[in-house]
C-alpha cells in the first residue's frame, strides 16, 4: 500500500507545541514492572518501528548482495531515504515519550540520540559515495554493524519498557504521530542539524522540501509503485 502524502493543512502536527504530543494525563500510562513482557500489538508504536527496521535491513541486503551498480544505487537511495526519516521521527516522537514516561527515560533517550548521531554521520558519508567506490560497501557495513546493535537494544529493551508503561490507545496514537511525522522529515542525512525538538522540527521543515525536490531526480528500485516524493515505496 502506498504511503499517502499529507495535506499541507496538517503541517501543524509538527509544531513545537505538539511534537511530540505532551503527556499531560496519568491515564495514558500504566505502572511498569521489570517483569512485564508486552507482546507487539497491531498498530502500536513498537509495530511500526519494527517494520521500519526490517525495511532498512532489507535494503541493506539488496545492496550488499548485488554486483550491479545501478541496482546498488537504487537501493542506496531507498536505504538513505528510509533510515534518515526513521531516525528523525524517533527523535521527535518516541524519545521524548521515553524521557517523560520512564524513570530512567532521559538516560535512555540520550544514549539513543548519541547512537543516532553516529549513524547520521556514517549515513552522510555513505549517501555521497558512488557504488563503484572502493569505500562504498565497507562504509555501509560499518554503518550497519553499529545500527544492528542499536536496533537490537531498542527492540529488546527500550520499546519493551515503553510499551509496558503505555496504555494501548496511547501507543497507537504515538504510532500515528510517528508515521505522520515521517511525511515531513528530511530524506537525506544532515548530521549537523539539532536532534531534539523544537529546533529539530524547525530545521527539518526547512530542509525536507529541498531533499524531496532532489529525490525527484534520483533513481529508485523498480518495486516502488511511486517515488518517495509522491508517497513513498510500497511495502
State which residues form the domain around 165: 41-184+193-226
31 found inside a domain: no
* Residue 8 belongs to some domain of the structure: no
Q: Do the domain assignments include residue 90?
A: yes
In-domain check, residue 145: yes
Task: Count how many domains the chain has.
Answer: 1
Residue 115, domain member (yes or no): yes
Residue 47 lies inside a defined structural domain of this protein? yes
Q: Which residue has the cell 539539532?
A: 194
Dihedral sign computed on CA atoms, order 201, 203, 209, 212: negative
Instruction: Give residue 202's pLDDT.
Output: 84
Whole-number Å distance between alpha carbons of 86 and 50: 11
pTM, entire model: 0.81
In a domain, 134, yes or no: yes
Report, as ranges of residue numbers, the positions in the chain whose pLDDT lies below 50. Answer: 1-38, 226, 229-231, 234-235
CATH number of the domain bearing residue 222: 1.20.120
Q: Does the residue 235 lie in any domain? A: no
pLDDT, one tens digit per residue, over 72-100 is: 999 999 999 999 999 999 999 999 999 99
Amino acid at each position: 500500500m502506498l504511503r499517502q502524502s499529507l495535506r499541507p493543512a496538517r503541517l501543524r502536527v509538527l509544531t513545537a507545541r505538539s511534537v511530540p504530543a505532551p503527556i499531560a494525563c496519568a491515564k495514558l500510562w500504566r505502572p511498569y514492572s521489570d517483569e512485564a513482557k508486552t507482546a507487539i500489538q497491531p498498530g502500536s508504536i513498537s509495530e511500526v518501528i519494527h517494520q521500519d527496521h526490517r525495511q532498512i535491513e532489507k535494503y541493506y541486503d539488496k545492496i550488499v548482495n548485488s554486483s550491479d551498480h545501478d541496482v546498488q544505487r537504487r537501493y542506496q537511495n531507498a536505504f538513505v531515504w528510509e533510515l534518515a526519516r526513521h531516525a528523525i521521527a524517533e527523535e521527535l516522537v518516541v524519545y521524548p515519550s521515553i524521557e517523560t514516561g520512564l524513570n530512567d527515560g532521559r538516560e535512555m533517550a540520550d544514549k539513543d540520540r548519541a547512537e543516532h548521531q553516529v549513524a547520521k554521520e556514517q549515513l552522510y558519508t555513505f549517501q555521497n559515495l558512488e557504488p563503484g567506490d572502493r569505500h562504498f560497501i565497507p562504509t555501509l557495513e560499518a554503518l550497519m554493524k553499529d545500527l544492528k546493535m542499536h536496533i537490537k537494544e531498542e527492540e529488546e529493551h527500550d520499546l519493551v519498557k515503553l510499551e509496558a508503561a503505555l496504555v494501548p490507545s496511547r501507543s497507537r496514537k504515538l504510532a500515528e504521530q510517528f508515521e505522520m511525522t515521517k511525511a515531513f522529515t528530511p530524506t537525506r542525512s544532515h548530521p549537523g542539524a539539532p536532534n531534539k525538538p523544537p529546533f529539530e522540527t524547525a530545521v527539518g521543515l526547512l530542509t525536507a522540501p529541498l531533499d524531496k525536490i532532489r529525490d525527484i531526480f534520483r533513481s529508485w528500485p523498480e518495486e516502488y509503485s511511486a517515488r518517495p516524493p509522491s508517497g513513498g515505496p510500497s511495502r
